[in-house]
A and B are shown apart, each in its own frame.
Chain A
């Protein structure tokens, strides 16, 4: 009697699972066939006057890029950028919704939101699952090493070991780009599949486990501000390169992406982005990018260059 019940239980679970699975794979086939330029999803609503209302995810807690202050008002560099783009685009009206940083990417994939921008790096996973815009800001990358070494240039890393970056991290991508630019610099980096906490990385550099940390000054300042001994033991160089930060857009919204790209290039050319950068990020990151020769070619942008980031990931 009991074996009979167990068998029925197993059969019914398998049947239910099979139903659920076939629903998914059936949906997959349908989507593969139809939507390659589809632009009507939950996040993009067509209005009666021909314009589109676009639901935008504003990640909260990501100061100074996007965050909500104590009165509930949204603020930040990326938020102001989105507002500036909204003004330029007559066809699209942005509706801003505050979301947690964990749930936002899944919702953008599902179509609940159209895009989000909050200092997102270009990573292989993002490039596969979403479409990315042109860079709307840059994240300066510095070399953090022991005071005795004080590395200032990428060439100094020849023969040294670096704090591991996981392969799907934006900094990994930038590191590979630099390595391609300087083929004679042979550094070693242990493979890892997880993020190493910044603090552990710094401690590893101080203790001699690694020679250098390929990271950002903001993170460095954050760790050492309460710890003078660590500040004295290490040296943070000037930016040697900049990681581009992009907007992550739902895969089906190619028209929106083109519109955002054009608007961003215009905003760069008339100086709005540089002003915003000085206001929110305490520095003109575009000038830093220019100095490190990583600035995107905004003037020479045209629609066929929309997939600019794919070449950087090879």
Chain B
């Protein structure tokens, strides 16, 4: 029923396809992040019309299954690319479409709304007072963003980003339906060649799980390091109280310390 020899044999072809999976994930995440930043800026634009349009577009992209994206792009890209090839004068081989690029595009498109949400919620957690203080101090817009807002945004966004990254990793398994050789495709190939399906798919599931756990650990480490400036041995309220108090209130400080130890 379950034969260990096939299981062990199937590990190698699947691991060989792992670089393809990681490439797909990385490419899709970066593209989604870039477009998501643009979408976030547009969703919070001053013009109400632009806001509404991009909110609707976001909602539309969120509501479409990834498999549908893949089929849609793989069937429509041929037509679009041949027309573009004529306009921009490059050769497009209909027989050998760059399916890999199409898959990255499809995955990125489906994750743009999530990236956009992540960025807007992260932006909302930063108090408006900071932007105003920067303005008062004479920072330029870029300096405000670059030195104050974005570092704090990154801390708030990292848990969500890690979540989306691993979800995208799992979503790349769907690209085997448009003939891309990543981990799931490698498992399917091995299974068809040797007609042993249970072992191949079990190996595939376990390898995905291992990669998932590895990335989870990586992201939790990044979270801890990025949030280091926020942590303190003393809770924030007490820190503020200390700052506000002048040097004369020695008794209260001693009391605080006693409470802390106890």
Contacts and interface: CB of A to CB of B under 8 A. Distances in A.
Q: Do A and B have CB atoms closer than 8 angstroms in the complex? A: yes
Interface of A: 24-25, 27-28, 31, 102, 105-106, 109-110, 123, 125-126, 128-130, 166, 168, 193-194, 199
Contacts of B95: 199
B189 A194 contact: yes
Given A102-B188, A194-B189, A199-B95, A125 B194 contact: yes
Interface residues of B, number: 15
B195 interface: yes
Contacts of A128: 195
Given A102-B188, A106-B198, A199-B95, A24 B193 contact: no
Contacts of B196: 125, 129
A120 to B, nearest CB: 11
Nearest to B94: A226
17 contacts: A24-B1, A24-B2, A25-B2, A27-B1, A27-B2, A28-B2, A31-B1, A102-B192, A105-B195, A106-B198, A110-B198, A125-B194, A128-B195, A168-B193, A193-B13, A193-B193, A194-B189
A193 B12 CA distance: 13
B61 interface: no
Given A106-B198, A109-B197, 16 more contacts: A24-B1, A24-B2, A28-B3, A31-B1, A102-B188, A102-B192, A105-B192, A106-B197, A109-B198, A123-B195, A125-B193, A125-B195, A125-B196, A129-B195, A168-B193, A194-B189
**Which label, helix, strand, loop or mixed, suits the secondary structure of the A interface?**
helix
Contact of A130 (B189, B195, B197): B195
Contacts of B189: 194
Interface of B: 1-3, 13, 95, 188-189, 191-198
Given A194-B189, A199-B95, A105 B1 contact: no
Contacts of B188: 102
A105 B192 CA distance: 8
Contacts, number: 38
A129 B193 CA distance: 11
A199 B96 CA distance: 10
Contacts of A126: 195
Contacts of A109: 195, 197-198
A50 to B, nearest CB: 30
B197 A28 contact: no
B193 A166 contact: yes
A59 to B, nearest CB: 13
A28 B1 contact: yes
Contacts of A105: 192, 195, 197
Nearest to A129: B195
B191 to A, nearest CB: 7
Nearest to B217: A6
Nearest to B1: A28
Contacts of B2: 24-25, 27-28
A27 B188 CA distance: 24
A211 B31 CA distance: 44
A78 B77 CA distance: 35
A313 B1 CA distance: 23
Please indicate which of the listed interface residues B191, B195, B196 has the most CB atoms of chain A within 10 Å of its own CB: B195
Contacts of A25: 2
In the A-B complex, the 9 residue pairs with the smallest Cβ-Cβ separation, listed nearest first, are A106-B197, A24-B2, A125-B195, A129-B195, A28-B1, A168-B193, A125-B194, A27-B1, A31-B1
Nearest to A30: B1
Nearest to B194: A125
Contacts of A27: 1-2
A159 B118 CA distance: 64
A128 B3 CA distance: 13
A117 B254 CA distance: 85
Nearest to B2: A24
Contacts of A125: 193-196
Contacts of B193: 125, 166, 168, 193
